[in-house]
Amino acid sequence: MSGQSQFSVVPEGTVTTPKGFRAGGLHCGLKKTERHDLGAIVCDVPAAAAGVYTLNAFQAAPLRVTQESIARDGKLQAMIVNSGNANACTGQQGEDDARAMRTVAAQALGVAEHHVGVTSTGVIGELLPMGKVLSGIEQLPQRVKQDGGDDFCQAILTTDLVQKMTCVRLKVGGKEIHIAGAAKGSGMIHPNMATMLGFMTTDANIESQYLQQLLNRITDNTFNMITVDGDTSTNDMVVIMASGLAENEALTPEHPDWEAFAAGVQYVGEYLAKAIARDGEGATKLIETTVIGAENDEAARKIVKSIIGSSLVKSAVYGADANWGRIIAAVGYSGQPVNVNTVDIRLGDIVVLEQSRPVKFDEEAALVYLKTDTIQIHVNLNMGTGKATGWGCDLTYDYVRINAAYRT
């Protein structure tokens, strides 16, 4: 990752570490247990904003409302999120509800309505209990605080087991700036633009248009390169807000520190993406797959996704079975150009296939490696310079258990 040495990770950093941001969460009654199910990130000033959204045809109502807000003047001052109910496939009523969330949040927080974004995650096709949601939103101003990053993070989880958060700092034009992010993932994870929900904050000074350009670029290499189950949600969204309070000279692609800043944003995106994959429903292992030597990057990306999306590869990793035949089968059905005589495959450092020919390997060593919690699959097609990396997880009994009884 170019420029990685130019930023450093902020231990315990959250989405409120960048200057100007507060956050919080509370339980308003959407989840059955007393866990947080409503949260907000609020900025002291209108922040330059950018977003990427699901390509699922049934895009949920709140995504449309958020897009509308950002379209007005490229800024957001608050992002409201609820978990437990996706407000998707809920028709005109769902759209009215998402708008009502925005209106009430704007009033409660004292910000312009078009500077509020809203998003939801949870069950599809049920109307939001608006009494609970709106009275929850009215309590947000008291809950939103400088150390509320953890509360916010809890509010966005559904079947997630762990919070997903990170923060880095780096110098831009001599000023210290921060980039932070929080995400939720778990199931219905096969983002076709971004993952379920990602929220990034920064105090860098950067205009909305450049922020959008950067978000698009890093999304292709991070959130769009993970899969848990091949299902693309109706509610996928990643939003980034930049307060500008670090007071650096405005960042543009021509700025000498642009690539360093981009590397910081890439790191945060990749960190969250990997955290989502590792915490996929029922997962016990992260599968990191790298393809090199492909005809081009796009081909490499598709082959990576074919491998990490294969139920058979995922089951084999769960069972610690060095079944490279399933990996090559997934390469073969990816629909991408492949030279069937030149493929190399490694599991970690263990070479299992060379020039498409099986290599005698130490089964015991492979078993030990496949029992670790991060499994790397390396494929070299030896055809061209295309490369890509993506992340998935193993397929386990627990995935089935969780999803056999999610709604009920």
> Which active-site residues does the annotation give?
195
Report the 10 Å Cβ neighbour count for 362: 11
DSSP string across 86-144: ---S-HHHHHHHHHHHHHHHHHHHT--GGGEEEEEEEESS----HHHHHHHHHHHHHH-
Core vs surface per residue 327-339: b (16+ CB within 10 A) or e: bbbbbeebebebe
**Residue 395 lies near a copy of itself (rule: CB under 8 A):** yes
- What separation in angstroms does the CA of 309 have from each of 193, 302, 314? 16, 10, 8
**Residue 368 lies near a copy of itself (rule: CB under 8 A):** no
According to the annotation, is 195 in a ligand binding site? Answer: yes
Q: Are 170 and 8 in contact (CB under 8 A)?
A: yes
**Residue 57 lies near a copy of itself (rule: CB under 8 A):** yes
**Residue 253 lies near a copy of itself (rule: CB under 8 A):** no
**Helix (H) or strand (E) run with residue 208 in it:** helix 208-221
Find the shortest distance in angstroms from Cβ 234 to a copy of itself: 5
**Residue 396 lies near a copy of itself (rule: CB under 8 A):** yes
Could you say which of 107, 146, 311, 374 contacts a copy of itself (CB under 8 A)?
311
**Residue 123 lies near a copy of itself (rule: CB under 8 A):** yes
According to the annotation, is 408 in a ligand binding site? Answer: yes
Could you say which of 114, 132, 169, 190 contacts a copy of itself (CB under 8 A)?
190
What totals of helices (H) and strands (E) does the chain contain, helices first? 11, 15
Please, which residues have CB within 8 angstroms of residue 228's CB and are 6 or more apart in sequence?
185, 186, 187, 188, 189, 190, 276, 277, 280, 281, 283, 392, 393
Backbone angles phi, psi at 374, to 5 degrees: -135, 115
Find the shortest distance in angstroms from Cβ 338 to a copy of itself: 4
**Residue 192 lies near a copy of itself (rule: CB under 8 A):** yes
**Residue 372 lies near a copy of itself (rule: CB under 8 A):** no
**Which is closer to a copy of itself, CB of 51 or CB of 282?**
282
**Which is closer to a copy of itself, CB of 32 or CB of 357?**
357
* Binding-residue total with a copy of itself (CB under 8 A): 64
Annotated binding site for substrate: 158, 184, 195, 281, 403, 408
Binding site for a copy of itself (CB under 8 A): 55-59, 86, 88-91, 123-126, 187-188, 190, 192, 229-234, 309-312, 315-316, 318-319, 321-326, 328-333, 338, 340-341, 353, 356-358, 395-397, 399-408
